[in-house]
Amino acid sequence: MYKEIVEIKSVEEIDAILLKKTDKYFTDRELKSVEDKNKLKSLGARYLIKRSILDYLELVNQYHDIEIENKEDGKPILSYTGEVMNKAEEMNIVGFKISISHSGNYISTLVVVEENV
């Protein structure tokens, strides 16, 4: 079974959420991977994906258990460990597929949760 989670936020909303707290939400590798990109939009999309997954799993602050990087072609790659992995296994979640889009003043994300039923 698949469940979809769609999030859309303005850049201003994301800026207010992240407001210089990037180390709270992102790993060093994630921060380094966005150095040559629009940092706010790239980190904002990653935040929305992490928040969507944590909300779905009913977890709170395990942002560092989720890491999002990009392949050379730009495709986002998601990995997860720790409490996120444990909770996903407990809920029979096989995996997560993600998509990121940002245009103008908006950031949108899609998380597809694949459950084994």
The count of domains in the chain is 1
Residue range(s) defining the domain that contains residue 19: 2-115
- Lowest-confidence pick of 13-17, 31-35, 65-69: 31-35
Q: Is the pLDDT of residue 39 over 90?
A: no
Q: Nearest 5 degrees, angle CA 56-CA 59-CA 60?
A: 120
Q: Hey, which of 12-16, 86-90, 102-106 has the most confident mean pLDDT?
A: 86-90
- Spatial CA neighbour of 40 closest among 61, 21, 55, 53: 21
Q: Nearest 5 degrees, angle CA 85-CA 86-CA 90?
A: 115
For the full predicted model, state whether its pTM sits above 0.95.
Answer: no
Q: Is the pLDDT of residue 117 over 80?
A: no
Domain of 8: which CATH number? Answer: 3.90.470.20
User: Is-contact 52 112, C-beta < 8 A?
Assistant: no
Q: What is the pLDDT confidence band of residue 23, given thresholds at 50, 70 and 90?
A: confident
